[in-house]
């Protein structure tokens, strides 16, 4: 109806972008009160996005709670630090007999 006033233009049935399909949530797999458990579950989930898995691994590593293998180089460095701590640790002063002090008159 091109010539009728008020009938041309406007929304038409079936036009426009179709609504998106609802996304399935993986929230049930990650339900926990402990943030470390949540990060570990996310890190071990093969279906999760790689960037999310990597961010979870880095967050755990920054906290120092990420389990991981220690290589030879890291083990050697840790052993060297332990030797340094032992060799440079302060030692107890030598013990002296108590009768070395005498009153002088």
Let me know: does 36 contact 63? Beta carbons within 8 Å. Answer: yes
Extract the tokens encoding 92: 């107890």
> CA-to-CA distance for 57 and 66, rounded, in angstroms?
7
> Do the beta carbons of residue 66 and residue 57 sit within 8 Å?
yes
Q: Whose CA is closest to 38, among 15, 23, 55?
A: 55
List the pLDDT tens digit at each of the 105 positions of the chain.
566 776 666 677 888 888 888 877 666 667 788 888 888 888 888 888 899 889 988 888 888 755 566 788 988 998 998 888 888 777 777 776 666 666 777
Task: State the Cα–Cα distance between residues 102 and 84, nearest whole angstrom.
Answer: 41
Contact 45, 38 (CB under 8 A): no
């Amino acid at each position: 109806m091109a010539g009728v006033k008020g009938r041309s233009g406007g929304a038409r049935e079936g036009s426009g972008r179709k609504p998106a399909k609802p996304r399935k949530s993986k929230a049930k797999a990650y339900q926990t009160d402990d943030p470390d458990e949540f990060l570990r579950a996310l890190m071990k989930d093969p279906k999760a996005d790689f960037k999310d898995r990597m961010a979870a691994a880095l967050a755990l590593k920054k906290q120092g709670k990420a389990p991981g293998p220690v290589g030879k180089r890291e083990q050697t460095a840790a052993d060297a630090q332990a030797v340094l701590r032992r060799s440079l640790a302060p030692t107890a002063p030598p013990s002296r007999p108590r009768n070395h002090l005498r009153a002088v008159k």
